[in-house]
Amino acid sequence: MINMDYSQAHQDYLKTIYMLLSRGQEASNSAIAQALGVAPASATNMVKRLAEAGLIEHVPYRGVQLTPAGQQVALEMVRHHRLVELFLHDILDMPWDQVHEEAERLEHAISEEVEEAIARKLGYPAFDPHGDPIPDRDGRLAEAAPGLPLTELAPGRAARLRRVHAQDAQRLRYLGELGLYPGAQVAVLEQSPFQGPLLVEVGGQRRMVAFDLAVELTVELQD
């Protein structure tokens, strides 16, 4: 359960730090500021306050890291966000390119009772509409089969799209038009050199996918 002594700003910063770290990125003050769309000075001040509260710590050459207390708050916010996304998508039929922004607004408003009701209604799901894992009530994440970016899939090898890391609505809308949803069967037919576009087969259809989009798609190999 979230400690209500923490403000919405605390929760947003902790969740952002978690998201940066989970993607293998350094949670520097500048990266945090860019992710949240705030001034670097604002991020520096909040990072200092979070450190004083024992929620984060600075690790030499690794930027900011979450303490166990900070990790607990971050995972609870991630759980709220991803449950709301799935509820909006699966129950209210909202397009997957719209649920992220709505969940950003609603994740702070729902109580633990509503969170539990949503999870129960959805059958205690492990993944959201984009294939992102939903932490359980104890902060545990479902284990998935090893995956790799679509850009690293060998030509001709069959795979299943497992996760879409893009959150921008326009990118998600475009990927949806190409049929690139989690669960889709994909194969790379050709890849242009120097990070050029990929020719992929999705559901029997040939599609061109830009490299910077393909790298945000995680696939798992099929036997």
pLDDT digits (tens, 9 = 90+) for 118-177: 999 999 999 999 999 999 999 999 887 779 999 999 998 999 999 999 889 999 999 999
Domain 148-221: CATH superfamily, name plus number: Ferrous iron transport protein A (FeoA) (2.30.30.90)
Which tokens hold the place of 210?
Answer: 């830009």
Cα–Cα distance for residue pair 151/195, rounded to 1 Å: 9
Model pLDDT, residue 1: 46
Model pLDDT, residue 59: 81
Q: Is 1-142 in CATH node 3.40.190.10?
A: no
Per-residue pLDDT tens digits for 96-118: 999 999 999 999 999 999 999 99
Cα–Cα distance for residue pair 91/145, rounded to 1 Å: 27
Domain-wise residue ranges, the chain: 1-142, 148-221
DSSP 36: H
Angle at 31 between CA 26 and CA 35, to 5 degrees: 120
For residue 52, give the amino acid letter.
Answer: E
Query: Strands, DSSP E only, in the chain?
Result: 56-59, 63-66, 148-149, 158-164, 185-191, 198-202, 205-209, 217-221
For the cut 90, the answer to whether the pLDDT of residue 76 exceeds it is yes
